[in-house]
Amino acid sequence: MTTPLSLLVQRYTGRKVAGAVPLSGGSVGHVTLVTLDNGGRVVVKQGPGLEPEGWMLRFLASRTMLPVPHLVHGDSQLLVMDYVESGDPVTPAVEAHAAELLAALHETTWHSFGAERDTVIAGLPQPNPPTRRWVEFFRDHRLLYMAEEARKSGQLPAVLMARIEALAGRLERWIDEPDRPRLIHGDCWGGNVLVKGDRVAAFIDPALYYADSEIELAFATLFGTFGDAFFARYGELRPLQPGFWEARRDIYNLYPLLVHVRLFGGSYVDGVERIVDRFL
């Protein structure tokens, strides 16, 4: 028998529920904003496969200074998080603050690319086997892995898959080995950046692993998350290497585009094809 939401919230917060309204929750889980009898609020996410998200939130909260929602409770079916006041627009001041936060996050390093465990991105499995070389990790566990997942789902044409495989065999023409594996949030689009005033209140829905930090910066341009003010401030803290804007940004954006192909198909296939056409 399924336990009612109100009883679950009371169990993990120690407070009775005064009200609940649904929230948009992206592609993963059913999300509810719950008001407690003391006036506090929590966000509850319900659905299968939520344990990795809870682990990532705890990881970021305990090992980094990146602001994330406080996790009250997390298991495979349920996340209870403190509500974060937000809803303000992204301004140049917000972009500069985001740049400072992500530049600091990218100073967290590890001995390998990947992570201590597999994670998820938009609810999809994201394999993170520790790998010494970045080009190998990006090729096998990001580009080819997600392309194959999209092909198996029927969203990516076989002919385009073959061209992605050809591009994967030539990545070292454009991608160098970074100095160190650096921790990234992994899913920096606008919906995952909560803004209050002129500050980033929290980053949500992480898809973390240790990577070339430029893949995070590339993703931040894909859907217009951040612009000139972000890159100006980030560049003061961690200067970008030559070739990012000319080539690596597009190559790295193949991964989030393939995630979207796997989930939604449609016009995202065209986006992948345009990038592959550019490099083959």
pLDDT tens for each residue of 139-167: 999 999 999 999 999 999 999 999 999 99
CA distance 13 to 85: 19
Section 10-16 average pLDDT: 95
CA distances (Å), 67 to each of 48, 99, 234, 258, in order? 25, 13, 17, 28
Sign of the Cα pseudo-torsion (124, 20, 15, 11, in order)? negative
- For residue 90, give the amino acid letter: V
Q: Answer whether residue 42 shows pLDDT above 70.
A: yes
The pTM of the whole model exceeds 0.85 = yes
Predicted local distance difference test score (pLDDT) of residue 1? 55
Percent of the chain with pLDDT over 90: 95
CA distance 114 to 127: 8
**157 half-sphere exposure, CB direction, 13 A CA radius:** 10
Quick check: is 179 catalytic? no
Percent of the chain with pLDDT over 70: 98
Q: Answer whether residue 212 shows pLDDT above 80.
A: yes
In order of their start, the domains of the chain are 5-82 (3.30.200.20), 92-279 (3.90.1200.10)
Among candidate residues 37, 75, 187, 228, the one labeled active-site is 187
As separate numbers, helices (DSSP H) first and strands (DSSP E) second, the chain gives 10, 11
pLDDT tens for each residue of 22-34: 987 656 779 999 9
pLDDT tens for each residue of 73-118: 999 999 999 999 999 999 999 999 999 999 999 999 999 999 999 9
Q: Are the beta carbons of 55 and 62 closer than 8 angstroms?
A: no
